[in-house]
Structure 1
Amino acid sequence: MNIAYWIVAGLLAVFYVYAGTLKVSRSREQLRPMMAWVDRVPLPALRALGTVEILGAAGLILPPLTGIAPSLATAAAIGFVLLQAGAITVHLTGEDRRITLNAGLAATAAVSVWLATGL
């Protein structure tokens, strides 16, 4: 179960570090082709979302790796489930109805929650 957690959490962390870095460092014009919803969100909120994604990725990896407060990994994974629930809502209320990636990320984060409880 420990190996399964590291695989799932590692994949989630890589995705969220990448996505968060894009949101923090790129302009709206650069993000628009991949994220149609960026025009509906204020730029500071977009930057904050990217920061939360990067910190959440660190929360999946660092606590179990260091042994310091490993329950924070469960909290980070729950946070990603909630984040994707919000993302699905944003996609469905706008013109962009593509939620397959969000549903997959929510399911993967839910598996990560389950696996983190066994750490």
Structure 2
Amino acid sequence: MNLALWIAAGLLAAVALAGGVTKTFVPKEKLAATNGGGWTADASVGFVKTLGILEILAAVGLILPAVLDIAPVLVPVTALCWVLLMVGAMITHLRYNEAKFIVVNLLYLAVAAFVAWGRLGPEPFGG
């Protein structure tokens, strides 16, 4: 179970890092032109970049606290925050009639919920 939780957290961190770097460093206009980025046309540059920074922080929060053994409880807390972020993403994609992205967000939500459940319940760090 511990290995499965590490793999899930690692995959989720990779997704968060990729999304965060994209939202932070790719111009908003270029994001809006991509498939699934239509919502960025209606969002401010600051909002998009803030989401990107939050995703980068999520990538860090899913891995480093456990690796460094400094406040490892931040791993499941970060996973729960990711769940909330994915709920917001699903609502946004629903508003823009982007059903296939809702399914992807639901998958990410399920992985994050698994990490949160596993690290708060059966496989806590140091337990």
Give the counterpart letter for 1:75 in structure 2: V
Aligned to 1:28: 28
Aligned to 1:8: 8
Secondary structure of 1:46 counterpart: helix
Are the equivalent residues in 2 in contact too, given 1:24–1:50 (CA < 8 A)? yes
Are the equivalent residues in 2 in contact too, given 1:59–1:73 (CA < 8 A)? yes
Aligned to 2:44: 42
Aligned residue pairs: how many? 119
Give the counterpart letter for 2:71 in structure 1: A
Structure 2, unaligned runs of 5 or more: none
Q: Pick which of 78-87 and 95-104 moved more.
A: 95-104
Secondary structure of 1:68 counterpart: coil
Give the counterpart letter for 1:116 in structure 2: R
Q: CA deviation at 1:9?
A: 0.3
Give the counterpart letter for 1:47 in structure 2: K
Query: What are the superposed Cα offsets for residues 7-31 of structure 1, whole Å, 9 maximum, x if unpaired?
Result: 0000000111001000000012321
Aligned to 1:104: 107
Pairing of 1:76-95 with structure 2 (within 5 A):
76-95=78-97
TM-score (norm: length of structure 2): 0.88
- Runs of 4 or more, structure 1, over 6 Å off, are none
Seq. identity, %: 37
Are the equivalent residues in 2 in contact too, given 1:19–1:50 (CA < 8 A)? yes
Q: CA deviation at 1:116?
A: 1.7
